[in-house]
């Protein structure tokens, strides 16, 4: 499960950055950003195998309250166009990992969006046109 979670977050980063690159804030009616609320008390750990629960419970001692984690969501919702295509964490614009912003990041980002867009179009033809509306 953790691999799927991490991969899904990475795909989200690449997709959001590519959509923002293809559709600058001046062309859109919304600001697109992506965020990290941090480790928060939630139900994400509900599927952890029982033998790992003691370890997870120790980590949860360090977790933020849901209210504190939600502050980043509120910040993202209220942020202006200067955050378009940016990663927000702790109520600030932050740099992404080197894999994302490094020399090969742009190419991987374009490939990920191309493949994801192809899958989405296969499921619902014309779905990506909503970005051009």
**Which pLDDT tens digit goes with each residue over 45-67?**
788 888 888 888 888 888 999 99
Average pLDDT for runs of 10 along the chain of length 133: 84 94 83 91 82 86 90 93 94 94 96 96 93 73
Q: Are 114 and 122 in contact (CB under 8 A)?
A: no
pLDDT score of 46: 82
The residue annotated as part of the active site, out of 5, 86, 87, 129, is 5
> In Å, how far are 9, 17, 45, 116 from 6, measured between CA atoms?
5, 17, 14, 17
Rounded Cα gap, residues 8 and 16, in angstroms: 12
The residue annotated as part of the active site, out of 9, 86, 87, 129, is 9
5 is catalytic: yes
- Hey, how many other C-beta atoms are within 10 angstroms of the C-beta on 72? 20
Sequence-ordered alpha helix ranges (H) in 23-104: 53-60, 66-78, 98-101
129 is catalytic: no
pLDDT score of 19: 93
């Amino acid at each position: 499960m953790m691999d799927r979670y991490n991969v899904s977050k990475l795909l989200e980063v690449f997709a959001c950055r590519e959509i923002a690159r293809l559709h600058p804030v001046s062309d859109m009616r919304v600001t697109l950003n992506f965020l990290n609320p941090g480790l928060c008390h939630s139900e994400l750990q509900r599927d952890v195998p029982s033998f790992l629960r003691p370890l997870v419970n120790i980590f949860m001692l360090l977790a933020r309250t849901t209210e504190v984690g939600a502050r980043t969501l509120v910040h993202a919702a209220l942020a202006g166009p200067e955050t378009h295509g940016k990663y927000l964490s702790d109520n600030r614009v932050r740099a992404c990992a080197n894999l994302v912003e490094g020399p090969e990041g742009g190419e991987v980002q374009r490939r990920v969006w191309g493949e994801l867009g192809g899958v989405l179009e296969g499921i619902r033809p014309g779905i990506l046109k909503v970005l051009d509306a």
